[in-house]
């Protein structure tokens, strides 16, 4: 396993949350279950951040707040814009949210229609939509798949196309839910290389600690609807008592 960031060579930059600013976010589901109990989080341009924690920690709930699918109590700001009902369309084009199951993310019959869905619903002209589809497929190394049928793709291919479906909206922040889940080693390797190359700010929820160690300089640990740790990945991975307390394992 290559070590991409050695001890003490990387310092957490000062960040005031110019891409994402979440402050004291609370949310309870209609059945009364409190999923978020005051989450605060900042992301800056170029950050690649892992979001880890046990199932039910609130990771997915937090992600659904980032483009306003769920609305809780507290502040969510995207690139300095406070999320309101009026700027939802703009925010949704800035935050590219990719769900865990690619079969839910890819809901159109063909790859082209799926990647074009975002840009089309942003109201872009036809030529621009086509150009963006081509660029997004190029970015995930799937240019030859433009006219394929979604159900003919392998899981790894579906995951990459799923990322292309939001890249075509040219978001400022990419939010991925468990991108490496269910992939065989080769498809996982391809995906990790892709995420490393993508020049975009990203927040990635995952249980894949080996990927966290390899790819993300910064890690946020969530448990019971709170952020319990936020810091340099290698420091968090060294803190065995923290990891055990939240059901995580050192890779």
| Residues of this chain that bind other proteins (CB under 8 A) | 64, 67, 69, 89, 92-93, 95, 97, 99, 101, 103-110, 112-113, 116-118, 120-122, 126, 129-130, 149-152, 165-166, 169
Give min distance, CB of 119 to other proteins, in A: 9
Output 113 or 235, the one with its CB closest to other proteins: 113
Q: Tell which phi-psi region holds residue 247, choosing left (phi > 0), alpha (psi between -120 and 50) or beta.
A: left
C-alpha dihedral (39, 42, 47, 50), degrees to nearest 10: -10
Output 108 or 242, the one with its CB closest to other proteins: 108
Token pair, residue 174, equals 């990419």
Give min distance, CB of 230 to other proteins, in A: 25
Output 95 or 192, the one with its CB closest to other proteins: 95
**How far apart, in whole angstroms, are the C-alpha atoms of residue 219 and residue 51?**
6
Give min distance, CB of 233 to other proteins, in A: 27
Give min distance, CB of 185 to other proteins, in A: 23
Does residue 26 sit in helix, strand or coil?
A: strand
Please give the backbone phi and psi of residue 216, each rounded to the nearest 5 degrees, phi first. -110, 120
Nearest to 190 by CA among 159, 165, 212, 169: 159
Q: Which residues contact 101 (CB under 8 A, 6 or more apart)?
A: none
**How far apart, in whole angstroms, are the C-alpha atoms of residue 34 and residue 29?**
6
Output 91 or 236, the one with its CB closest to other proteins: 91
Output 21 or 112, the one with its CB closest to other proteins: 112
Q: 115: how many CB neighbours lie within 10 A of its CB?
A: 32
Residue burial 194-215, b: 16+ Cβ < 10 Å; e: rest: bbeeeebbbbbbbbbbebbbbb
Output 155 or 242, the one with its CB closest to other proteins: 155
Give min distance, CB of 111 to other proteins, in A: 10
Give min distance, CB of 104 to other proteins, in A: 4
């Amino acid at each position: 396993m290559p070590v991409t960031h050695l001890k003490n060579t990387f310092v957490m930059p000062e960040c005031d949350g110019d891409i994402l600013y979440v402050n004291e976010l609370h949310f309870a589901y209609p059945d009364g279950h409190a999923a978020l109990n005051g989450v605060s989080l900042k992301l800056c341009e170029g950050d690649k951040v892992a979001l880890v924690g046990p199932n039910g920690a609130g990771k997915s709930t937090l992600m659904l707040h980032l483009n306003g699918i769920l609305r809780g109590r507290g502040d969510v700001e995207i690139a300095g814009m406070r999320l309101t009902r009026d700027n939802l369309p703009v925010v949704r084009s800035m935050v590219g949210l990719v769900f865990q199951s690619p079969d839910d993310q890819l809901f159109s019959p063909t790859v082209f229609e799926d990647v074009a869905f975002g840009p089309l619903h942003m109201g872009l002209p036809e030529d621009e939509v086509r150009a963006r589809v081509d660029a997004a497929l190029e970015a995930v190394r799937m240019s030859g798949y433009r006219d394929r049928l979604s159900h003919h793709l392998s899981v790894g291919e579906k995951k990459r196309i799923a990322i292309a479906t939001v890249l075509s909206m040219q978001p400022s922040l990419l939010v991925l839910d468990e991108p490496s889940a269910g992939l065989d080693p080769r498809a996982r390797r391809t995906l990790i290389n892709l995420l490393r190359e993508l020049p975009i700010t990203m927040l990635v929820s995952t249980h894949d600690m080996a990927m966290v160690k390899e790819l993300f300089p910064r890690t946020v640990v969530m448990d019971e609807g709170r952020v319990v740790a936020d810091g340099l990945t290698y420091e968090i991975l060294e803190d065995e008592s923290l990891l055990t307390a939240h059901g995580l394992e050192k890779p």
